[in-house]
Amino acid sequence: MNQEDSDDHHTPTKQPRTAQEEKQMLQRDQRATGTSPPPYRRYAPLILRLGISVVFLWFGFTQLKNPASWTRMVPAAVSSILHISTTTLIYLNGAFEVVMATLLLLGLRTRLIATLLALHLLGITSIVGYGPTGARDLALALATASIALAGPDSFCLDRKANDAST
């Protein structure tokens, strides 16, 4: 391998902004590797985004429907510091998760929403600690962070609006 090949390999590529740019990048990759990715590869980010959205929606609606079952999970110090009741905190958290999950589901402001949800869940993980619940929440936070890092997939309304404007 010569220096030129090495530099090309390590040069960062910009995130595709449109479906056309994404297609061109995919074609370049195919020519470079001599392989063709599976046709269903483009659905992987969509499946991840929808799955994470459903999880946040489920938790959010559960908190709104029955906050009493969640109050035991909130440390007394948190309510004391914020000067609001535990039940109110659960309602606010549930509403936040439902609104953010709906935006993520639709693919609106995908990167920002996924970042906020990942940070939110990391905060919860730090409070819950390192047990089965903490491990689950950490895994969900990392999956949500991967959505933020990848940005809008080709099915997001973000991407559709961007494609329509170009």
What does the pLDDT read at residue 14?
A: 55
Q: For residue 36, what are the CA distances in angstroms to 29, 86, 116?
A: 8, 53, 35
Give yes or no for residue 4 having a pLDDT over 60: no
pLDDT tens digits for 19-57?
777 777 777 777 777 776 777 888 999 999 999 999 999
Virtual CA dihedral for 43, 105, 117, 138, nearest 10 degrees?
Answer: -50
| Conformation bin of residue 129: beta by default, left when phi > 0, alpha when psi is -120 to 50 | left
- What is the model's pLDDT at position 82? 86
pLDDT of residue 110 exceeding 90, the answer is: yes
Domain residue ranges of the chain, discontinuous segments joined by +: 46-150
pLDDT per residue over 46-104, tens digit each? Answer: 999 999 999 999 999 999 999 999 988 888 888 888 899 999 999 999 999 999 999 99
pLDDT at 7: 44
Higher pLDDT, 14 or 118: 118
* CA distances from residue 102 to 85, 94, 105, 110 in whole angstroms, order as listed: 26, 12, 5, 11
- Between vectors from CA 122 to CA 111 and to CA 133, what angle results, nearest 5°? 125
d(Cα 166, Cα 161) in Å, to the nearest integer?
9
| 2 or 166, which is more confident | 166
Q: What is the pLDDT of residues 118-143, one digit of tens each?
A: 999 999 898 888 889 889 999 999 99
Q: Which of 77, 74, 76, 101 is nearest to 90 (CA)?
A: 74
Is 16's pLDDT higher than 70? no
